[in-house]
Amino acid sequence: MAGLFDLSGKQALITGSSQGIGLALARGLAGAGAALVLNGRDRAKLETAADMLRAEGFAVQTLPFDVTDHAAARAAVDGFEGNRGPIDILINNAGMQHRAPLDEFPADAFQRLLQTNIASVFNVAQACARHMIARRAGKIVNIASVQSALARPGIAPYTATKGAVANLTKGMATDWARHGLQCNALAPGYFDTPLNAALVADPAFTEWLKKRTPAGRWGRVEELVGAAVFLSAPASSFVNGTVLYVDGGITASL
């Protein structure tokens, strides 16, 4: 039974993994036996995260590249596969937020959201999938959101990108499941992360969230690990195109 969740011998690339959810998922996958490949654009932050995880006894490599650059993503993945071995698991975690009323939303911020939150998922998944297809095995986990299903004032473009992540995940499964890949999405609810720092610091929002969420609290990033390991492990061998919400019940409740 334990083998269903064993990632020993697998290499996992986690984008945006120098902090927050990406770093927590990296630590969790390493705890299940995976060797880590951390990605980010800030090399200094990436190396700090890598050193911290190495000090905890985990096998860690870094692969800095800009996930919004299609050519850079493909070159980085191809180079890694050629020189350092297969990427068996991809966690597409890189993302950003920008809050503004929709009628005043800056066009340049909208474009950045599209590139960071959805184009990056396509870029890195395609680069990794080409190798996974050749091996007829691979796990792709895209990080969606409760905003894949719900909306709130001030984040309409973010909501649009996360809805796109959910549907792109279904498209990946539809195209690639026949080649032995499992492509799914993990959709966090409201978690205490750097991306949500402004909301966490807002007592009124926190009070609203506690009332709105059946679990009555913010999520802790460690609570995403079990779902991520499941979607990355043999246990999910016949799970494809699924969006798994880890949200304290917020999408289940009015």
- CA-based nearest residue to 209, from 144, 146, 142: 146
What pLDDT shows up at residue 1? 66
Q: Which residues are catalytic?
A: 158
What pLDDT shows up at residue 56? 98
In a domain, 174, yes or no: yes
- From its phi and psi, is residue 69 left (phi > 0), alpha (psi between -120 and 50) or beta? beta
pTM of the model: 0.96
In a domain, 128, yes or no: yes
Q: What is the residue range of 93's domain?
A: 2-245
pLDDT digits (tens, 9 = 90+) for 9-65: 999 999 999 999 999 999 999 999 999 999 999 999 999 999 999 999 999 999 999
- Rounded-to-integer distance, Cα 79 and Cα 7, Å: 23
- Rounded-to-integer distance, Cα 136 and Cα 131, Å: 9
Query: Among all chains, which residue has been given the structure tokens 């969790």?
Result: 28
In a domain, 253, yes or no: no
Three-class DSSP category at 186: strand
User: Which CATH number characterizes residue 19's domain?
Assistant: 3.40.50.720
Side-by-side strand order, sheet with 181-188: 60-62, 35-38, 11-14, 89-92, 138-143, 181-188, 243-246
Position 205 confidence tier, pLDDT thresholds 50, 70, 90 = very high
In a domain, 56, yes or no: yes
User: Tokens in use for 232?
Assistant: 């990355």
Residue 248 pLDDT exceeds 90? yes
User: Tokens in use for 175?
Assistant: 């195209």
- How many domains are there within the chain? 1
pLDDT digits (tens, 9 = 90+) for 165-184: 999 999 999 999 999 999 99
Give the mean pLDDT of the chain.
97
